[in-house]
Amino acid sequence: MTATHAFDTAIRLAHNGIGSYRGQTTPEYANMVGPFGGVTAAAIVRAIEDHPDRIGQPVALTVNYLVPVGDGSFDIALRAVRTNRTNQHWTVEVAQEHGVTTTATAVFGIRRDAWSDTEATMPAAPDPEGLPRAILPEGVRWMRNYEMRYVAGEVPAVASESTSSTTTLWVRQRPARALDFAALSALSDVFYPRVFLRRGRMLPAGTISLTTYFHVDGAELARQGTDYVLASAHAQRFARGYFDQTAQIWGRDATLLATSHQIVYYKD
């Protein structure tokens, strides 16, 4: 009998009525405060995918982190606000006993054959097999669920400021798991805060809002299998306690799988 992957356990949902689901946080995906934001985004995607009214596959997802999710159960309430012929718009709330912790909007859509091109360029990187596995920081449990091999911008090991906020790494789930939209949603938040790299040390920081754009359909995503993806992120400005982050996630076959943008709070 095959054991359930820790990621699937973390995003497992029980029906709690039409348009309502209940999940449970797991210690394996704990962050410094609350669960890893990527696993919350993944649970939201899974809830929409499981809804009987859903059409198509993820196109865009915006998650707003109001307060940290506490350990224990949480409820996801969602509804399709409007369904058109090829796209569908959703609103989502995640709540616990003390109130709403997370809000989200999502667009799902039916993709059709059309002219396609990729203007972005995949960062140059050696094959992951030739790079060492990252030494991960203590106390951040969710990172243990990923095999990370940094090309540039690894977690600072000593207090030394950097002139660049760019991190590029090969990453895949550990143990191996085929990539799907829920897992891709989580990977959009796989980067440690850019301010850590610039300042050369860990600081209080947390994502406030994360938007992910999905550029592939299910068949293209399935072709990635359990292989590494190349993830790269950088900030554009740090100002008065907030910074942005722009990221790309590429398949080893140079397919641009997703891009993301987020705004992060920090305290220095």
Query: Tens digits of per-residue pLDDT, 135-146?
Result: 888 889 999 999
Nearest Cα residue to 44 out of 196, 175, 211: 211
| Residue 1: per-residue pLDDT | 54
Quickly state the pLDDT bin for 51 (edges 50, 70, 90): very high
Average pLDDT over residues 133-158: 91
Helix (H, G, I), strand (E, B) or coil at 199: helix
How far is Cα 188 from Cα 243, in angstroms, rounded to an integer? 16
How far is Cα 242 from Cα 80, in angstroms, rounded to an integer? 32
| Residue 135: per-residue pLDDT | 87
Rounded alpha-carbon distances, angstroms, from residue 188 to 16, 30, 210: 28, 17, 9
* Percent of the chain residues past pLDDT 70, beyond the cut: 99
| Residue 53: per-residue pLDDT | 95
Nearest Cα residue to 92 out of 104, 110, 75: 104
pLDDT in tens, 7-33: 999 999 999 888 899 999 999 999 988
Nearest Cα residue to 228 out of 177, 189, 159: 177
How far is Cα 58 from Cα 55, in angstroms, rounded to an integer? 9
State the amino acid at position 128 in one-letter form: P
Rounded alpha-carbon distances, angstroms, from residue 44 to 9, 67, 132, 191, 207: 14, 16, 33, 19, 16
Place of tokens 């950088």: 234
- 27: cis peptide before it, omega within 30°? no
Query: Is the separation of the CB atoms in 74 and 23 below 8 Å?
Result: yes
Average pLDDT over residues 234-254: 98
How far is Cα 266 from Cα 196, in angstroms, rounded to an integer? 10
Rounded alpha-carbon distances, angstroms, from residue 127 to 6, 123, 146, 150, 175: 27, 12, 17, 11, 19
What is the CB-side half-sphere exposure of residue 205 using CA atoms within 13 A?
Answer: 23
State the amino acid at position 146 in one-letter form: Y
Q: Is 18 or 91 the better-scoring residue by pLDDT?
A: 91
| Residue 139: per-residue pLDDT | 81
Q: What is the CA radius of gyration of the chain?
A: 18
| Residue 216: per-residue pLDDT | 98
| Residue 187: per-residue pLDDT | 98
Average pLDDT over residues 79-93: 97
Rounded mean pLDDT of the chain? Answer: 96
Task: Kindly state the helix (H) or strand (E) to which residue 114 belongs, with its residue range.
Answer: none
